[in-house]
């Protein structure tokens, strides 16, 4: 089979055309994402990438392979199972998320979500069957907060109503580039990261209270930056910023609900394991 060769001018021209085509297809994927129709865009990019891989078998193209950008996986999340219970004035509905792509970490997350949903279902049905108060409504939902070429963030929310309403959030942040499920501690190189986070959160709390006199954070009464003793709930938002989240009652009165604080990356850079991690 005859192998095609190219002179320098043609190589450069073809190189520019390939990279340009990739960028166009990549832009199409993100535009489709905004319309929440991801599948077709991903397939289009896969087709282009496949064509590139074929061309890369020719040594002419291997020299500039590293200059073609890599598009991270756009993951599909569906409702894998819905756990239902209904009895008189008690009702439980728990939607269990499922990541459809095949990946060891994704499979472990799917198992975790199913166990989590089953435990919550069993716990709530036990309460309904054991106590006299039968008026209970429980909803378990999920929200895909981020799904781009770098991070996948899933928020599982459990809302329980027995007279008053309590809401609990559970976040998972998966770093697609490094293929790791993040913990807060692994982001930092120093042991005082909780103190740094607490100081920034306190600063934001005080500013919110200054602007709105109805806001009150009871943790400020401690006058001690060690009030944040354990890793709090966190996730990375669509702008690739660290967000610390507190459920209802954790740091403030119940009427204020969930409280979230975006931590400026400039504050975190000196203590990050990788100063450019959020870039």
Residue 72 placed within a domain: no
Q: Assess whether pLDDT exceeds 90 at residue 153.
A: yes
pLDDT band at 225 (very low <50, low <70, confident <90, very high): low
- What value does the mean pLDDT take over residues 153-176? 93
Query: Which tokens go with 65?
Result: 């392979």
**pTM for this predicted structure:** 0.71
Q: Assess whether pLDDT exceeds 50 at residue 34.
A: no
Residue 278 placed within a domain: no
Separation of alpha carbons 253 and 83, rounded Å? 31
Closest by CA to 169, choosing from 197, 139, 195, is 139
Query: Which tokens go with 105?
Result: 């970490």
Separation of alpha carbons 235 and 152, rounded Å? 10
Q: Assess whether pLDDT exceeds 90 at residue 115.
A: yes
Shared domain for 48 and 141, answered yes or no, is no
* Full residue range of the structural domain in which residue 19 is found: 8-67
Q: Which residues contact 195 (CB under 8 A, 6 or more apart)?
A: 225, 226, 228
The per-residue pLDDT for 102 is 86
Last residue of a domain, one of 134, 162, 181: 181
Report how many domains make up the chain: 3
Residue 121 placed within a domain: yes
Q: Which helix (H) or strand (E) holds 269?
A: none
Reduced to 3 states (helix: H, G, I; strand: E, B; else coil), residue 225 is helix
Separation of alpha carbons 140 and 133, rounded Å? 20
The lowest-confidence range among 7-11, 98-102, 251-255 is 7-11
Q: Assess whether pLDDT exceeds 50 at residue 2.
A: no
Distance between alpha carbon 73 and the CA centroid of its chain, in Å?
14
Q: Name the DSSP class of 217.
A: B
The lowest-confidence range among 71-80, 109-118, 254-263 is 71-80
Q: What is the CATH number of the domain that holds 160?
A: 3.30.565.40
Reduced to 3 states (helix: H, G, I; strand: E, B; else coil), residue 197 is helix
């Amino acid at each position: 089979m005859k192998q095609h060769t190219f002179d320098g001018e043609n190589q450069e021209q073809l190189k520019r055309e390939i990279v340009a085509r990739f960028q166009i297809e990549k832009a199409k994927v993100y535009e489709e994402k905004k319309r929440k129709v991801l599948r077709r865009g991903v397939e289009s990019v896969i087709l282009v990438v496949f064509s590139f891989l074929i061309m890369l078998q020719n040594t002419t193209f291997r020299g500039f392979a590293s200059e073609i950008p890599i598009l991270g996986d756009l993951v599909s999340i569906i409702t894998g199972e819905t756990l239902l219970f209904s009895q008189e004035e008690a009702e439980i509905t728990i939607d269990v998320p499922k990541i459809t792509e095949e990946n060891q970490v994704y499979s472990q997350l799917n198992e975790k979500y199913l166990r989590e949903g089953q435990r919550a279902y069993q716990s709530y049905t036990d309460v309904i069957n054991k106590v006299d108060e039968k008026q209970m409504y429980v909803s378990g939902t999920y929200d895909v907060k981020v799904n781009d070429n770098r991070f996948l963030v899933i928020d599982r929310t459990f809302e329980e109503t027995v007279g008053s309403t309590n809401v609990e959030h559970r976040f998972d942040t998966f770093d697609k580039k490094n293929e790791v499920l993040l913990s807060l501690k692994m982001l930092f190189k120093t042991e005082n990261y909780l103190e740094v986070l607490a100081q920034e959160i306190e600063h934001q709390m005080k500013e919110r209270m200054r602007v709105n006199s109805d806001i009150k954070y009871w943790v400020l009464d401690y006058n001690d930056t060690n009030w944040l003793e354990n890793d709090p709930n966190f996730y990375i938002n669509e702008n690739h910023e660290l967000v610390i989240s507190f459920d209802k009652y954790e740091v403030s009165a119940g009427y204020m609900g969930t409280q979230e604080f975006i931590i400026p990356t400039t504050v975190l850079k000196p203590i990050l394991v990788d100063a450019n991690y959020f870039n």
